[in-house]
């Protein structure tokens, strides 16, 4: 129940923040302002977390540290079931949004001629992405680099315009890489975030060098 409430609050907070960012981006067209806004939100979240850590009891602080390492070692079977339901719901929403997104990828004017409601589509994507990212983070912790590496890797091996295939590839390869990192984490007896960082940073660096 506690993890379920945490995931609900995380999803609600993520949706509110993304909607606020969408409104903010309409008033400030320069992308640098959006980056600054992201830093401000990150700093505010860091300050709140520091306050909670300062006043937390030892057991709560230990739970937070274990959560921040990432992974599902501390997640029970019932919590995994709740997570599976939330992730499945998010995937269903994104699956239904693929067809409108294909139209939108060809241009907003083109999408409008085929009856795509762009405002509704944007908010649908916000809700789906918040549901997926917030629920996974609430249960498994902030696993680093998976969300950056997998989409870029899938775009490299398959046509980015074919969103149906990209959707399936991201799910399969994302799960495969996550499981691989988990196995390495168990073998090396190290937190999952350390493993993902050790592999993720060089991969992202190579991707950046390739695009130069």
Q: List the structure tokens of 169.
A: 């590839």
Domain count, the chain: 1
Residue closest to 93 by CA, chosen among 136, 116, 127: 127
Q: Are 54 and 78 in contact (CB under 8 A)?
A: no
How far, in Å, CA of 34 to CA of 89, rounded? 29
Q: What is the radius of gyration, based on Cα positions, of the chain?
A: 19
Q: Would you state the pLDDT for residue 3?
A: 61
Q: Would you state the pLDDT for residue 176?
A: 92
CA distances to 21, 34, 37, 85, 195 from 28, rounded to whole Å, are: 10, 8, 10, 37, 38
Q: Would you state the pLDDT for residue 2?
A: 62
DSSP H helical ranges for the chain = 2-27, 31-55, 58-68, 77-105, 108-113, 118-140, 146-157, 163-188, 192-210
Tens-digit pLDDT profile for residues 119-149: 888 888 888 888 888 888 888 888 888 888 8
Tens-digit pLDDT profile for residues 182-200: 899 889 888 888 898 888 8
Report pTM. 0.80
**pLDDT confidence tier of residue 172, bands split at 50, 70 and 90:** very high
For residue 93, the domain's CATH number is 1.10.3470.10
Task: Supply the range of the domain harboring residue 129.
Answer: 2-210
Using the predicted structure, report yes or no on whether residue 92 has a pLDDT greater than 90: yes
How far, in Å, CA of 114 to CA of 112, rounded? 5
How far, in Å, CA of 128 to CA of 109, rounded? 24
Tens-digit pLDDT profile for residues 157-168: 888 778 888 999
What percentage of residues in the chain have a pLDDT greater than 90? 10
Q: Would you state the pLDDT for residue 82?
A: 85
Mean of all residue pLDDT scores within the chain: 84
**pLDDT confidence tier of residue 91, bands split at 50, 70 and 90:** very high
Q: Would you state the pLDDT for residue 113?
A: 80
Q: Are 136 and 62 in contact (CB under 8 A)?
A: no
């Amino acid at each position: 129940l506690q993890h379920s409430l945490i995931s609900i609050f995380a999803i609600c907070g993520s949706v509110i923040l993304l909607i606020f960012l969408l409104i903010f981006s309409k008033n400030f067209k320069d992308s640098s302002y959006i980056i600054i806004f992201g830093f401000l939100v990150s700093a505010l979240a860091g300050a709140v977390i520091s306050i909670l850590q300062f006043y937390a009891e030892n057991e709560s602080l230990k739970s937070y540290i274990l959560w921040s390492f990432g992974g599902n070692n501390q997640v029970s079977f019932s919590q995994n079931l709740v997570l599976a339901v939330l992730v499945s719901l998010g995937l269903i929403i994104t699956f239904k949004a693929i067809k409108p997104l294909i139209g939108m990828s060809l241009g907003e004017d083109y999408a409008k001629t085929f009856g795509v409601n762009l405002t509704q589509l944007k908010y649908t994507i916000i809700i789906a992405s918040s549901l997926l990212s917030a629920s996974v983070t609430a249960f498994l912790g902030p696993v680093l680099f998976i969300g950056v590496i997998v989409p870029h890797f899938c775009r490299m091996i398959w046509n980015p315009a074919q969103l149906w295939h990209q959707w399936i590839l991201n799910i399969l390869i994302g799960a495969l890489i996550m499981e691989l990192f988990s196995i390495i984490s168990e073998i090396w007896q190290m937190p999952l975030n350390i493993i993902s960082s050790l592999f993720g940073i060089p991969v992202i660096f190579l991707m950046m060098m390739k695009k130069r």
